[in-house]
Amino acid sequence: MDQFSLDKFKKPDEIPIVPSWVLDGPPVTLKLYEAVQNMVLEKEVLIKSSAKKVLGVKDRQLVNSQIAELAGVDKSNLREDRQSLLLKYIEQENIKLDQLWKNTSEHPKKGQKPSKSDLARDKSIYERQLSEIKNERLVGYFQEALSSEVLNEQKYLIAKYKQLEIDYEKAQTTIANLRKQNGELLRCLNQ
């Protein structure tokens, strides 16, 4: 008689299905998507294992700069104009992670008011979250302003370069005309 083995009942590992928009995009999209998948697994484990601990927003949600760092690409690749579908996907995953956090974290029982220490802790958490969100928005604003300023500076330099080319051509024409006139005057004097 055969030995009983759980291997016979073991399901094969599921192959993750990669969305078509990831496969159709540039190679950096696949790198970022895989980094998001890895981070989601890490965050889920962290949230489930630390249900009684206080986690900051960055500890329990996906952060674009951390995703880019994990993927080994520049964080400028995670912009709305370059990776809009991926950013929507990250937003959806953040909603799922937030829901998981709410489901696993401690909540006062129904009908029971939270204690003063719980309220103070929640207040400090929300203040920290608010400052992190403000800082992230400021970073985004300044990056956008800087890229806009660089673009304006490049446009100005291109216009200046074109004007200098026109001035150079005019100067070359003037020099050629002056040389011609100088040659004619020398011939007149020599006759």
pLDDT in tens, 111-163: 677 788 878 888 888 898 899 899 989 988 888 888 888 888 888 999 999 99
Can you tell me the mean pLDDT for 55-71? 83
Q: pLDDT by residue (tens digit) across 156-177?
A: 999 999 999 999 999 999 999 9
Number of domains in the chain: 2
Share of the chain above pLDDT 90, in %: 17
7 shares its domain with 101: yes
11 shares its domain with 101: yes
pLDDT of 65 reads 86
Scored b (16 or more CB within 10 A) or e, 42-67 reads: ebbeebeeeeeeebebeebbbbbeeb
Highest mean pLDDT: which of 1-10, 49-58, 134-143, 163-172? 163-172
174 shares its domain with 88: no
Task: Give the end of a domain, one of 106, 131, 158.
Answer: 106
The residue ranking higher by pLDDT, 99 or 167, is 167
pTM, rounded to two decimals: 0.51
132 shares its domain with 157: yes
Task: Give the end of a domain, one of 45, 76, 106.
Answer: 106
93 shares its domain with 118: no
| Matching residue, tokens 């207040």 | 123
Answer yes or no: is pLDDT of 1 > 50.
no
Number of H helices, E strands in the chain: 6, 0
Contact 44, 97 (CB under 8 A): yes
Angle, helices 84-104/27-49, rounded to nearest 10 degrees: 10
140 shares its domain with 185: yes
User: CB atoms < 10 A from the CB of 32, how many?
Assistant: 28
pLDDT of 166 reads 95
122 shares its domain with 89: no
* Residue of 101, 95, 98, 93 lying closest to 39 (CA atoms): 93
Question: How many angstroms separate the first and last alpha carbons of the chain?
Answer: 127
Answer yes or no: is pLDDT of 6 > 60.
no
93 shares its domain with 128: no
pLDDT of 5 reads 58
pLDDT of 169 reads 95
79 shares its domain with 154: no
